[in-house]
Amino acid sequence: MFERFSKDARAAVVDAQQVAHETGSRTVDGRHLLAALASGDGAAAQALRTVGVDPSALADSLRAELRAGGLDAGALASLGVDLDAVRARADAVFGEGALERGTGRGRRGHIPFTPDAKKTLELALRETVRLGSPAIEGGHLLLGVLRATGSPAEAALRAALAGAGTDGPALRVALEEQQRRAS
């Protein structure tokens, strides 16, 4: 399937790996892919802007969530623990990325994709076929995230859309309009 990816979509998949490395993740899930799409300058980021979502803020939020490694910073804060302060102190005492090294999260090389990330890619292919596109583009990947019901990436995207006062159908319209203009 990867041979059907456009340059933009290939870059997003490669960038998702980079996001996983940066955040010390053991796997690449849909949130890594969404962060990569939002960080880029392709159709996905453009469509997010069109519907009022700040792609940079979304990418930053996702990276922070991924860095927390499943730790709920809000829950820890309610106990008087500042996760960012703990991380900063560990970095100061033991060196940059100490918490990630301590958990084995700072690995190098290829990081495997989770089933939800693979499902997102499959849904992107379905969107490509549905729209009659010759290649899988970054916008199709974002549509795949939108269709990945129940995934952490879909939840993050819907929250960002709601925060901007919009929703999934508006994003779909923006992406499909871009597709029509590009054809």
Tell me the per-residue pLDDT of 10-39, one tens digit each, with 9 for 90 and over.
999 999 999 999 998 999 999 999 999 999
Given a contact cutoff of 8 angstroms between Cβ atoms, the answer to whether 156 and 61 are in contact is: yes
28-67 tens-digit pLDDT = 999 999 999 999 999 999 999 999 999 999 999 999 989 8
Residues 41 and 124 in one domain: yes
Q: What is the pLDDT of residue 168?
A: 96
* 125 and 161 together in one domain: yes
Residue whose C-alpha is closest to residue 20's, from 86, 66, 65, 89: 66
Residues 88, 123 share a domain: no
Quick one: 94 and 145 in the same domain? no
Same domain assignment for residues 127 and 77: no
Give yes or no: residues 22 and 55 share one domain: yes
pLDDT of residue 83: 65
**Overall number of domains in the chain:** 2
Mean pLDDT, rounded, of the chain: 87
- 61 and 118 in a common domain: yes
Residue 43 exposure: Cα atoms within 13 Å on the Cβ side: 24
Q: What is the pTM of this model?
A: 0.81
User: Quick one: pLDDT at residue 44?
Assistant: 95
Of the candidates 140, 113, 112, the residue with the CA atom closest to the CA atom of residue 127: 140
- Percent of the chain whose predicted confidence (pLDDT) is above 70: 86
11 and 56 co-located in one domain:
yes
Last residue of a domain, one of 61, 86, 104: 104
Q: What pLDDT, on a 0 to 100 scale, did the predictor assign at position 85?
A: 77
Single out the residue in 104, 121, 153 at which a domain terminates: 104
Q: Which domain holds residue 90?
A: 71-104
Q: Check residue 108 and give its pLDDT.
A: 58
Are both 51 and 30 inside the same structural domain?
yes
44 and 127 part of one domain: yes
Write the CB contacts of 2 (distance below 8 Å, at least 6 apart in sequence).
Answer: 10, 13
Radius of gyration of the chain (CA): 17
Q: Lowest mean pLDDT: which of 75-89, 108-122, 145-159?
A: 75-89
